[in-house]
Amino acid sequence: MKWLIFAWKNVMRNRRRSLTAMLITAFGSAAVLASGGFALFTYESLEEMTARDTGHVVVAHARGFEGDEDVPLQHGLADATALAARFAALPGVRAVAPRVQFSGLISNGDKSAVFVGSGVVPEIDFRLRGPQMSFLAGQPPASKAPAPEVVIGNELARLMKAKVGTLLTLLATTTEGNLNAVDVIVSGIASVGVPEIDKRLVLADLASVQKLLLSDKVGTLSIYLKETADTELVAGRVRESQPGLTVKTWRDLAVFYQAVRALYNRIFGILGVIMICIVLFAMVNTLGMAVVERTREIGTLRAIGTLPGEIVRNFVFEGMAIGAAGAVAGMLLAGAATVALLFAGAEMPPPPGRSVGYPLLLSFSPTLYGAVTLMVIALAAGAAWLVSRRAANKPVTEALAHV
Amino acid sequence: MSMAQATVSLGGLRKSYRVGESSVEALKGVSLAVAAGEMVALTGPSGSGKSTLLNLCGLIDTPDAGSRELCGKVLDGLDEIRLTQLRREKVGFIFQGFNLVPVMTAYDNVEYPLLLLGVALEERRRRVAEALHRVGLDALARRLPDALSGGQRQRVAIARALIKAPALVIADEPTANLDSATARQIVDLLHELARERSASVVVATHDERMSSHCDRVLHLIDGELQ
């Protein structure tokens, strides 16, 4: 304890210089914490978005993900209802959503456009999608409507001059390779925030799609979990129980998530390295000056019987004190920014290829805060060790003669 | 005096320094033995080798040739760590410029050598209080060196040097930065405390009041004892 008090007194010896180092450390740690918090928030949002889109665990036919079907649902699941019931009974499962991916032409009688659609069970699917899809007009299709209903993307609606209640025709290839058509009523117009998807988006009731494709198979079964953290556990159980099927997790299917994560890790990694260099430089500068100024004092302490290692230890304590104070201030700054952004309602501009921005929020992660604090303290200790080693091992007579 | 009785024994010490291209021989085979409780004054003009001899006595420098013993322990070949440990246990220093640690109070400065020795808190408190009382600074224990006069600082330095009851005290011009009245007090104090604790004292000085208190006065000229 005495040594720590001694170290703190030495830190306070040149207050302005120590304060400058502390402030640099504080802003450096706050920058790392804020950028880390932003990256974490982005990862969490993308995780949620991907999981809501695909489901946490997706089960398909053994060749269901290969994308080499000659006709729709060639590699579909025939016994989907029984499988869905079995998966729904697994612990941690919230819901199981059967889906059929299909494509074709959509027409309003005057003009046609290509669409990429999904046949879904509306009661399950739209509940699980959450805020990822926003309805601009109307509502999800009803399963038991007298005429088949669809939700289309806002860009496609603009192209088709469609509103809620407009009658459109879907034209697609059946499982037998023939063309088939069905008249549908637009029940809703929605956006997923990506114009390229909104230009082709069609979501229809599963039974109607199966009728269009002349099949009772489904393409995939999307398993939604109560906790995203259980993904691997449930995927493992499904693989065990259905070894003949292909099981993928949202992470396997999240190409965008993986790309963003890789990019952000690199960007924020470089930012972190820059911050480390700045903090290290500030510490080396502050403590280096302290060592030079106190060389004579070091000589006195060495003459009295202080070992070089003990001199270095004292400087390391000083560095740790500055580092810890800076890290705590940095945590407070980053914490304040996190709270302020919660209430500020600030938005990030839309990323490339998207039409809507997303909230600018920072995630609070005790692990991140702890790791940054430890890293800053370790950096400060390392800097102190680096600059004090030489002076501590200087011959005593030389140190005492230092002016 | 035999080497065995002496606190510190130096035999044929030689020390040279390089100054530019040439070498200056600061000590030319100096031999000296200081008995327990003896106070020895080193006098001589500037550059005569007083500081070098003091540094070698205090184990903060190593000779080029010759032998050294402290309390019967042969020092030849000991590494810096071992020499530091010996200084910690057996040697006290008093410097001309006091050399107190400015962020430490008088109390903390005096306590420091005991911290190094790992003395328990209660024992430290007792010994520091006693040492400060002995040098007349009880009331100023919590003051920083900056808030003390030169004489008071040197008293703190004396207390710091003697608190661990060292076998040897090295004092380098301890009265040089003090006025004559204060210098006299410091000389008396150092003499008295060293006697009380049976510490051997080697003091480099130009001050006759100091040397007159010493048991022996050795004169160094050009690196040789006269």
A397 part of contact set with chain B, CB < 8 Å: yes
Lowest mean pLDDT among A48-52, A66-70, A105-109, A133-137: A66-70
Question: Is residue A313 assigned to a domain?
Answer: yes
Look at residues A267, A385, A261, A278 and name the one whose alpha carbon lies nearest to residue A30.
Answer: A278
Task: With beta carbons under 8 A apart, name residues in chain A contacting B104.
Answer: 6, 9
Please give the share of chain A, as a percent, with pLDDT higher than 90. 66
Residue A280 sits in the same domain as residue A209? no
10 Å CB burial of residue A216 (0-12, 13-18, 19+) is middle
What's the domain count of chain A? 2
pLDDT 10s per residue in chain B (226 long)? 444 478 899 999 999 988 888 888 899 999 999 998 899 999 999 888 999 999 999 999 999 999 999 998 998 889 999 999 999 999 999 998 889 999 999 999 999 999 999 999 999 999 999 999 988 899 999 999 999 998 899 999 999 998 998 999 999 988 887 787 778 888 888 888 788 888 899 999 888 878 888 889 999 998 888 8
Could you tell me whether strands B216-221 and B65-70 are parallel, antiparallel, or unpaired per DSSP bridges?
Answer: unpaired
Residue A79 sits in the same domain as residue A192? yes
Task: With beta carbons under 8 A apart, name residues in chain B contacting A307.
Answer: 81, 84-85
Per-residue pLDDT tens digits for A15-35:
999 999 999 999 999 999 999
Residues 292-331, chain A, touching B (beta carbon < 8 A): 296-297, 300-308, 310
A275 pLDDT exceeds 80? Answer: yes
Contact A205, A148 (CB under 8 A): yes
Residue A44 sits in the same domain as residue A66? no
Tokens of A262: 């890789």
Task: With beta carbons under 8 A apart, name residues in chain B contacting A6.
Answer: 103-104, 108
- Measure B87 CA to nearest chain A CA, in Å: 5
Tokens of B138: 């009880």
Lowest mean pLDDT among A148-152, A384-388, B192-196: B192-196
Look at residues A100, A98, A60 and name the one whose alpha carbon lies nearest to residue A235.
Answer: A60
A403 part of contact set with chain B, CB < 8 Å: no
Task: Say which CATH topology domain B37-62+79-225 has.
Answer: Rossmann fold (3.40.50)
Question: Is residue A250 assigned to a domain?
Answer: no
Per-residue pLDDT tens digits for A76-85:
898 889 999 9
pTM attached to this predicted model: 0.79
10 Å CB burial of residue B73 (0-12, 13-18, 19+) is exposed
The whole-number pLDDT of residue B144 equals 96
- Cα separation, A113 vs A16, in Å, equals 69
The whole-number pLDDT of residue A201 equals 94
A259 pLDDT exceeds 50? Answer: yes
CA diameter of chain B = 55
The whole-number pLDDT of residue A20 equals 93
Interface touch A305/B84, C-beta < 8 Å: yes
Residue for token pair 């489901």: A55
Interface touch B84/A306, C-beta < 8 Å: yes
The whole-number pLDDT of residue A67 equals 75
A265 part of contact set with chain B, CB < 8 Å: no
Interface touch A305/B60, C-beta < 8 Å: no
B89 part of contact set with chain A, CB < 8 Å: yes
Q: What does the buried/exposed string (b/e) look like for A316-345 if buried means 16 or more CB atoms within 10 Å of the residue's CB?
A: bbbbbbbbbbbbbbbbebbbebbeebeeee
Question: Is residue A324 assigned to a domain?
Answer: yes
The whole-number pLDDT of residue A132 equals 73
ipTM > 0.90, yes or no:
yes
Nearest chain B residue to A303 by CA distance is B60
Closest Cβ–Cβ partner in B81, B104, B112 for A304: B112
The whole-number pLDDT of residue B2 equals 47
Residue A341 sits in the same domain as residue A369? yes
Domain ranges, residue A104: 62-244
Contact B169, B202 (CB under 8 A): yes
Q: Which residues pair with B170 in a beta bridge?
A: B93, B202
The whole-number pLDDT of residue A176 equals 86
Structural domain ending residue among the three candidates A220, A244, A268: A244
Interface touch A396/B81, C-beta < 8 Å: no
Question: Is residue A57 assigned to a domain?
Answer: no
Task: With beta carbons under 8 A apart, name residues in chain A contacting B113.
Answer: 304-305
Residue A232 sits in the same domain as residue A308? no
Query: What average pLDDT does this structure show over A47-64?
Result: 87
Nearest chain A residue to B162 by CA distance is A304
- Cα separation, A360 vs A337, in Å, equals 11
Give the 3-state secondary structure of chain A: CHHHHHHHHHHHHHHHHHHHHHHHHHHHHHHHHHHHHHHHHHHHHHHHHHHHHHCCEEEECCCCCCCCCCCCCCCCECCHHHHHHHHHCCCCEEEEEEEEEEEEEEECCCCEEEEEEEEECHHHHHHHHHHHCEEEEECCCCCCCCCCEEEEEHHHHHHHCCCCCCEEEEEEECCCCCEEEEEEEEEEEEECCCHHHHCCEEEEEHHHHHHHHCCCCECEEEEEECCHHHHHHHHHHHHHHCCCCEEEEHHHHCHHHHHHHHHHHHHHHHHHHHHHHHHHHHHHHHHHHHHHHCHHHHHHHHHHCCCHHHHHHHHHHHHHHHHHHHHHHHHHHHHHHHHHHHHHCCEECCCCCCCCCEECCCCCCHHHHHHHHHHHHHHHHHHHHHHHHHHHCCCHHHHHCCC
The whole-number pLDDT of residue B163 equals 93
Give the side-chain half-sphere CA count within 13 A for A215.
27
Structural domain ending residue among the three candidates A210, A244, A278: A244
Residue A76 sits in the same domain as residue A222? yes
Q: Which one has a higher pLDDT value, B88 or A51?
A: B88
Rounded to 5 degrees, φ, ψ at B153 are: -65, -40
- Cα separation, B146 vs A255, in Å, equals 67
C-alpha distances (whole Å) from A27 to each of A24, A73, A154, A319, A328 are 5, 56, 44, 17, 11
Residue A114 sits in the same domain as residue A239? yes
Query: What average pLDDT does this structure show over A222-239?
Result: 92
Rounded to 5 degrees, φ, ψ at A44 are: -65, -40
Domain ranges of chain B: 37-62+79-225
Closest Cβ–Cβ partner in B55, B101, B112 for A397: B55
Structural domain ending residue among the three candidates A244, A272, A292: A244
The whole-number pLDDT of residue A104 equals 93
- Measure B60 CA to nearest chain A CA, in Å: 6
The whole-number pLDDT of residue B189 equals 81
- Cα separation, A304 vs A301, in Å, equals 5
Query: What average pLDDT does this structure show over A194-210?
Result: 92
